[in-house]
Every structure is written in C-alpha cells, then in structure tokens.
Amino acid sequence: MTYVTLEKDPLIKVPNKIEYFYDPKYIYIPINNPANFRLGSLVLKDMPICHNYSSISGIIQKIDEHYLMISNDYREKCVRVKKINNKIDLYSLNKALSIYDHDLFLKFKSLKKIDNIVINAIDDELYVANNILNFKENIDDVLEILDKLIYLYKAKKTLIVIKNTESDLIDECLDLIGTYPSIKLTLLENYYLLERKDIILNKLKIDENKTLYLSMNELVKLEKIVKYNMVDSTFLLTICGDVLKENKVIMTKRYVSLKELVSKYLEIIDNNYVIIVNSLINGYETSLNLILTDDIKVIYFMKKKKVRESKCIRCGKCLEVCPKHIDILNGNDYEECISCGLCNYVCPSFINILSRIKKDGEKK
C-alpha cells in the first residue's frame, strides 16, 4: 500500500485545547415510541430513553414522532449517585461496560485472549485533534487505567501510538511513561488511514485476533465508565473550517443541536459555506439543524467551491493509493472498497470514483 499524507490549508489552525459545553438549553433524544412519553414529565440525567441515555436532567417540552425535546433544569439530577470505584477488577470492568457501553463490552468479549493492547491516539482527519487532546488532558488517568488493563489481562505488549509530528505531547509522555515500563510509545509518520484498526495493526505487524485495540477516546471513556460506574454522556468534537474565525475542540453533551453550540462558541465570517460531517474526503453534507451524537467526530464549515469533473486521463493515481488494490478503472473488486475516499482525493480530473463504486454496489 502507498501511504498518503493529506495536504493542509495553513490558514486553518488545529485547536490546541479542549473547551466544555455542559449546559445546553435543550437536548433532542431520538425515540421510536412517542406514545410512551408525557409532556411536562421530569427526565433525570442518565435515564435510559429508547436505547439512549439522557445527558441532562430537565422537563419534556415537546414530543415529536422521532425525538423528545428536553429543556435543561441545570440541576444535573442523576438516576444514580456518582460513586468512585477504586477497586477495578475483571468482574467490575465487564459489568460496568455491559451496562453502560455495549460496543466497548463487545470489544472485550470478542477476544479469547489479550496478548497485546494497542491504543491509537491518531486522528486521520485534517485539523482534527480529538484523540491527541484527550490524551494530553487525561494523561495520568490514561496511563493508570492502561497499567490496570495490562495487569488484569496479563498482556505481553502494550503500545500507545501517536504521530511523530506531536512533539509537545511526546516530551510530556516520555517524562510520565517512564514510571510505567510495560507501556511503550510508538511514533508513526503523518499518513492518512492510520486511524483505521486494520491498517495500523497491519503496519505494526500485530495479530488482530489477540489484540485489544482501542482509540484513545475509547480508553478515556472506558476509564470514566469503570471508575464512576455510570454512562458517559459527553463526547469530543472538532469544529473547524475556512469560514470560522477560530476552530474548536469541544467536549459536549450528547443530543445538543449544532445551532445552539455554534451560537455559543463559533463565529462564522463568510455565509457562503457548506457544513460537512466527519470527513472532507468521504463525509456528508448537513445543516445547522443537526443533532450531535457521539458518532460525529468533526464538523467542517467550508467555503462553497465549484469543482468541475473532467474526463479520466488514465494517470493511474487512484490505483497507486488504493489500500485495497482495487482495479478501479476496469470496475473489478469494488466489493472490497472500504470507502476511504483516497481515490477521489488524488484524482486530478475530480472524478467522484467513490460515488460510482457506491452506485455500482446498489445495482448489485
């Protein structure tokens, strides 16, 4: 595979600190059974609502077919009192994850043996710094919980992977990591796609079947869930772009509206923009009405640009970069596509190869 480094616009600065948005006026929780709710009833923080958990306490203001609008009473009245668990063992770890984060629970459950632990602090997307800032902000807690995991699972090899361009953090880590001899820092080049589990484990030559693989954001979340035995109702989001006065990384409550967050934290300096979610290469367009959920890691506010597609000049650049070696020009092996969008990114004729692949998949 040919690794690619994405080109950055030097005028868009990557944020270097986390800001916190814990007091939204309203949240909007997705539902599928409106008849089960009553206007004016009290909702507590962490209360389960249709496979989700409320991220605030407050009153139901509106019941829509698809969501509940809850107004914040700013009391943070919780379903359970926050209690610190100082004795983390396999039983308490599994129990907390099985109740409060099913995806993380399955990651542990799917492994018969954990020989290696790989924590990935790389953010692939341009101008995004969620994993790395989360690491910086929680470095002591991260090293402590990781040391605990190594002990509980008797892991032989444990790596924290970061980009070799993060010089400030590397110095800080080297100072602290010395007290944890089982944890090694691995520095990798600034290539695109190293945030992906399959690509990074392949590059590190580590067996996927015996490896617990977590992003840094997942490890920080795990630490909070296991330590406090409660759901983590927040997540990290980068908001950036060339029409914003300043870019931000914000720790926000779930189910807040993008409009409210923008009005409090961001200044838009050019109104001719598009909002793109999760990737400049293969993300999707949205509006300010978007409700923020934890599968969103970045929202771009970018100037609208006209790009004209032209004929393929058979330069072969798309073939060179494709991590799955797909025969793009002849339309073979499309089912292997991982939708990384690199072919689109390098194409000098601005051909939307990825959308052609998707259409081809739909036909079949």
Nearest approach, Cβ of 321 to ligand SF4 (angstroms)? 6
Q: Smaller CB distance to ligand SF4: residue 90 or 313?
A: 313
Calculate the CA dihedral of residues 105, 111, 112, 115 and round it to 10 degrees: -120
Nearest approach, Cβ of 314 to ligand SF4 (angstroms)? 5
Among 341, 355, 359, 364, binds ligand SF4 (CB under 6 A): 341
Q: Smaller CB distance to ligand SF4: residue 121 or 340?
A: 340
- Residue 172 has a CB neighbour count (10 Å cut-off) of 14
- Contacts with ligand SF4, 272-311, as mask; x by CB under 6 A: ----------------------------------------
- Binders of ligand SF4 among residues 21 to 80 (CB under 6 A) are none
Among 48, 316, 331, 361, binds ligand SF4 (CB under 6 A): 316
Stretch that binds ligand SF4, among 24-32, 202-210, 216-224, 320-328 (CB under 6 A): 320-328
Nearest approach, Cβ of 152 to ligand SF4 (angstroms)? 37
Question: Cα separation of 84 and 180, whole Å?
Answer: 23
- Binders of ligand SF4 among residues 321 to 340 (CB under 6 A) are 321-324, 326, 328-329, 337-340
- Give a three-class secondary structure readout of the chain: CCCCCCCCCCCCCCCCCEEEECCCCEEEEECCCHHHCCCCCEECECCEECCEECCCCEEEEEECCCEEEEEECCCCCECCCCCCCCCCCHHHHHHHHHHHCHHHHHHHHCCCCCCEEEEECCCCCCCCCHHHHHHHHCHHHHHHHHHHHHHHHCCCEEEEEEECCCHHHHHHHHHHHCCCCCEEEEEECCCCCCCCHHHHHHHHCCCHHHEEEEEHHHHHHHHHHHHHCCCCCEEEEEEECCCECCCEEEEEECCCEHHHHHHHHCCECCCCEEEEECCCCCCEEECCCCECCCCCCEEEEEECCCCCCCCCCCCCHHHHHCCCCCEHHHCECHHHCCCCCHHHHHCCCCCCHHHHHHHHHHHC
Nearest approach, Cβ of 362 to ligand SF4 (angstroms)? 15
Stretch that binds ligand SF4, among 17-25, 39-47, 119-127, 346-354 (CB under 6 A): 346-354
Among 179, 315, 355, 362, binds ligand SF4 (CB under 6 A): 315
Q: Does 342 bind ligand SF4 (CB under 6 A)?
A: yes
Nearest approach, Cβ of 361 to ligand SF4 (angstroms)? 11
Q: Smaller CB distance to ligand SF4: residue 24 or 341?
A: 341
Nearest approach, Cβ of 278 to ligand SF4 (angstroms)? 15
- Binders of ligand SF4 among residues 160 to 219 (CB under 6 A) are none
Among 17, 75, 314, 359, binds ligand SF4 (CB under 6 A): 314
Among 6, 349, 352, 356, binds ligand SF4 (CB under 6 A): 349
Query: Site residues (CB under 6 A) for ligand SF4?
Result: 312-318, 321-324, 326, 328-329, 337-343, 346-349, 351, 353-354, 357
